[in-house]
Structure 1
């Protein structure tokens, strides 16, 4: 007998936010997701403000307690000092990110932050493999703070959800990040809008864009926690549509592979490749045309591009196997035996710098995966290789928190 499908519920919650009466500069207190913050970026964020959210999402150990306990104590201090305050009633939080893509085109991503049930994890679909990471640190942080400190980022195939996200009046909070992305957030409390959003989101399975490890951590924590509030996770839901999300590719850097071996493998896996100019604009155009590009070492760097590729009407496993990243990980990389000596880089300029300066012996730039390909692969129950996609922009940590104590169900 087929298992009955139980789609996750999605509801408003009582959010905890920075107190606008205390915090004048919202830019100084929010942070990127924890997994894109290196040590230099953490120091920059800490220097911005003594109450920057990075102190919670990436806490440091002190002489008296673990990082997780330090974050818990700091969170309680900020609440006691009314740096953070709880909203008066449950709400969805409309989150809008305005930015320019690589071509200079102005774009906008709109989504809604709410509480997603963890009742049936199988109905939240990963679209790509994830690198194995110990869940211990994130689990300890969740157990100590009893707070969702950052939203996971999910995609819904429900068409028309963006039409529900109309704004009235100025945002409750706004900030601009170092990339120039404008982040704005509005509280939504109209019963009719809340109900419409809940029904739209819960009508379809969801696809994970970012936050798979945090989702796994929340599921593990929920299994051992009897608190009803622990059975939910804060999530940003965005419509899976070309005009809503920008999917950037993640390129591969070969740190010490023989460049001749990489070139030979590339021509074997991508026959018919031809030389192109190794300049940013030329490679960007080749990627837009669906071509995969090998960049050699040196300045100027040699470059060759594969024949153009298009997903056409391919579905499921056939589509997955045709992707450039699938060919890299199933065919090309095994020929070189360099799986553990790769770096992943979404910024093409960084890729070209790495090969020009000799930090990488070669690089392969891959074309972006389309929104439609993500939908087809995920709904077929399949996964793309790790680091296939880079969703841009990313929501800021600190825009809103979800504390179990405040959001008791």
Structure 2
């Protein structure tokens, strides 16, 4: 199953570590333009490598990376390690603190057909191409994708907790989460990580575009290398792994906003009534509460009025999309089929890129967009559950676009992973390889 190996990580030199707050940045696909412009003002911020500016961003990032290495802005750790990454956070409306526990390592970049790493959404080719060009020019992975493995015995958590007694970094990020990094060098412990993951499939939670770029790079380099062995640096991907069984693994909903509807509010409601029962809600700010935990139920904010809409059970059988039942039964599939395709007329294959259909995680902002006239309607949704994510991944199908938002997002700047061959390999790599008798079977 999943082959992992430790990383000889690149990190900011010790003299800069006290400024780690000023060096981290959001992931490339969530950083706002305003955040970017502010972060660009710091000459050493990680944004210069992860989301480079300028007319030739990949070339600029490669040149800057070489300069940073030469001037020892970044330095490579001497020994391969498992890097432990904890994120402490609270959810909106709650004071309870959660701690998502995970670790960063290299994992072999598997083709989807190998069914070792499983996805739950499709990617946009443009975003993959941008990430691929950056990877080709820098051969540096600036931030890990987020993968999930299932271990009901929590057999690795004791090692994670122990390492956190001596953290390397600690900072509060743009989300308000407290991020803490620690390291494991113990050979026997690392071998235990390799052994446990060697019996697991991995589900891709976040970072589909970054993983696709690694996969494309591996395929390209394999074709160019007549002496390919499978052990080259380009075969591996930088990943952050967390346990699906943890109660601190949180998925937040992503709501849907329609900026254009070719119907009056009255006609739109009449069309909805064919498929949904509609109940007025006095206070729009209660929409997320009145639908909580209810299957096929959504909050609708339209023309300053709030409604709870719920699919009529007898209507569900009319869905004719060809997909497994585990995907058909998702709330978001119901919404995308009966509302966006049947009523609005946006065909399934066009929904991801349709400009009038937007995705927004901020509940209050969805209402504001309608009130301000920037949108016609907002659909408030429930979150997808971890169990649903598992079932869809194992089915081989994908969810509707923007179905999951694993919270919090990892940050960029704590650790960088090189796939330059001389920086990737270590003299002690063979020590981490397991004999057949050491592997977990089944």
Same fold (TM over 0.5): yes
Aligned counterparts of 2:329 and 2:110: Cα–Cα separation in 1 = 34
Partner of 2:366: 351
Equivalent residues in 2 for 1:268-287, closer than 5 Å:
268-269=274-275, 271-280=276-285, 282-287=286-291
SS in 1 for 2:26: coil
Is contact 1:294–1:362 with CA below 8 Å preserved after alignment? no
Quote the Cα distance in structure 2 between the aligned partners of 1:262 and 1:205.
44
Which residue in 1 is equivalent to 2:62? 72
Partner of 1:92: 82
- d(CA) in 2 for partners of 1:112, 1:276: 44
The residue number in structure 2 matching 1:187 is 183
Ranges in structure 2 where 5+ consecutive residues have no aligned partner: 314-322, 427-442
Kept after mapping to 1: 8 A contact 2:214/2:237? yes
Q: Deviations over 1:356-407 (max 9, x none)?
A: 2121100111111111111112112221111111111011111100112321
- Per the alignment, residue 313 of structure 1 pairs with none
Are residues 107 and 87 of structure 1, via their aligned partners in 2, closer, same or farther at CA, if it must alter by over 3 Å? Answer: same
| 1:165 matched residue in structure 2 | 160
SS in 2 for 1:272: strand
Contact 2:284 2:301 in 1 (8 A): no
Q: Does the C-alpha gap of structure 1 residues 321 and 261 become closer, same or farther in structure 2, counting only changes over 3 Å?
A: farther
Work out which of the residue numbers 35, 41, 49 in structure 2 matches 1:41: 35
Which of 402, 417, 442 is matched with 1:387 structurally? 402
- Does residue 133 of structure 1 match 2:126? yes
Quote the Cα distance in structure 2 between the aligned partners of 1:165 and 1:198. 14
SS of structure 2 residue aligned to 1:35 = coil
Give the whole-Å Cα distance in 1 for the aligned partners of 2:270 and 2:67: 59
Kindly provide the CA deviation profile for residues 315-372 of structure 1, in whole angstroms up to 9, marking residues without a partner as x. Answer: x932321111001222221121244110001111111111121211001111111111
Aligned position for 1:236: 240
Q: Which runs of 4+ in 1 moved over 6 A?
A: none
Deviation of 1:138 (Å): 1.2
Aligned with 1:235: secondary structure? strand
TM-score by length of 1: 0.89
The counterpart of 2:48, out of the listed 55, 61, 67, is 55
Q: Matched residues in 1 for 2:271 and 2:11: separation?
A: 52
Structure-2-length-normalised TM-score = 0.83
Structure 2 partner of 1:337 = 345
Residue 28 of structure 1: aligned partner? 22
Cα drift, residue 128 of structure 1 = 2.5
Given the alignment, which residue of 80, 83, 104 partners 1:113? 104
Contact 1:174 1:184 in 2 (8 A): yes
What RMSD in Å do the two structures reach over aligned CA positions? Answer: 2.1
1:255–1:56 distance in 2 versus 1, CA, 3 Å: same
Q: Distance in 2 between matches of 1:331 and 1:8?
A: 39
Q: Give the drift of 1:163.
A: 4.3
Cα distance in 1 for residues equivalent to 2:186 and 2:312: 49
Distance, in Å, in 2 between the alignment partners of 1:246 and 1:277 is 29
Q: Separation in 2 of the partners of 1:99 and 1:264?
A: 42
2:147 matched to 1:154?
yes
1:119 is displaced (CA, Å) by: 4.2
- Aligned partners of 2:250 and 2:268: how far apart in 1? 30
- CA distance in 1: counterparts of 2:260 and 2:246, whole angstroms: 37
Distance in 2, matches of 1:20 and 1:71, equals 22
Equivalent position of 2:431 in the other structure: none
Indicate the SS of the match to 1:25: helix
- The answer to whether the Cα contact below 8 Å between 1:286 and 1:305 also exists between their aligned partners in 2 is no
Q: Give, in whole Å, the separation in 2 of the partners of 1:53 and 1:95.
A: 18
Deviation of 1:39 after TM superposition, in Å, equals 1.8
1:12–1:92 CA contact under 8 A, matched in 2: yes
- Corresponding residue to 2:380 among 365, 385, 408: 365
For 1:379 and 1:333, how far apart are their aligned partners in 2? 27
Alpha carbons 2:88, 2:99 under 8 Å: kept? yes
Is it true that 1:11 corresponds to 2:2 in the alignment? Answer: no
Q: 1:384 & 1:278 partners in 2: Cα distance?
A: 31
Taking the aligned partners of 1:306 and 1:242, their CA distance within structure 2 comes to: 31
What is aligned with 1:250? 254
Count how many residue pairs are aligned between Structure 1 and Structure 2. 390
Does the 8 Å contact 1:249/1:369 carry over to 2? yes
* CA–CA distance in structure 1, aligned partners of residues 303 and 396 of structure 2: 42
Distance across 2 between alignment mates of 1:164 and 1:266: 53
Supply the distance in 2 between the matched residues of 1:151 and 1:51 (Cα, whole angstroms).
19
2-side partners of 1:16 and 1:384: how far apart? 35
CA distance in 2, matches of 1:379, 1:334: 26
1:115-147 C-alpha deviation (Å, 9 max, x unpaired) = 000244432111133344353221111011011
